[in-house]
Amino acid sequence: MAGPQESLIYKPRWGAFFGTKLEQHLRGLSVSTLVFAGCNFPNCPRASIYEASERDFRIVVIEDAMSGFYDRARTELENIGARVLETASFLKEAV
């Protein structure tokens, strides 16, 4: 159950933007940066990260909070302009 400040969006494919109104929702909230953590990087997170990049969102990936994160992933993500951080570094910057 979602709280009053939360939204639920059905995601029909791996990427969170494909066939959804996620971009419109985020733009309506003036969101410009997305922080990614989650499970199985090669599937849903990776697809959503690339879709976010195509839409010119700034991207931060929390590498130690992402399962299936492989060695080459950091290079791939940095090549599309994403920042790859560990949780401790992210939290230091967020304060």
pLDDT tens sequence across 35-84: 999 999 999 999 999 999 999 999 999 999 999 999 899 999 999 999 99
Separation of alpha carbons 75 and 24, rounded Å: 29
pTM of the model as a whole: 0.92
Q: What residues contact residue 64 under an 8 Å CB cut-off, 6+ apart?
A: 86, 87
Average pLDDT over residues 18-33: 98
pLDDT at 68: 96
Separation of alpha carbons 12 and 46, rounded Å: 15
Residue written as token pair 């992210």: 90
The band of 6, judged by pLDDT with boundaries at 50, 70 and 90, is very high
The band of 94, judged by pLDDT with boundaries at 50, 70 and 90, is confident
pLDDT at 87: 97
Q: Is the pLDDT of residue 95 over 80?
A: no
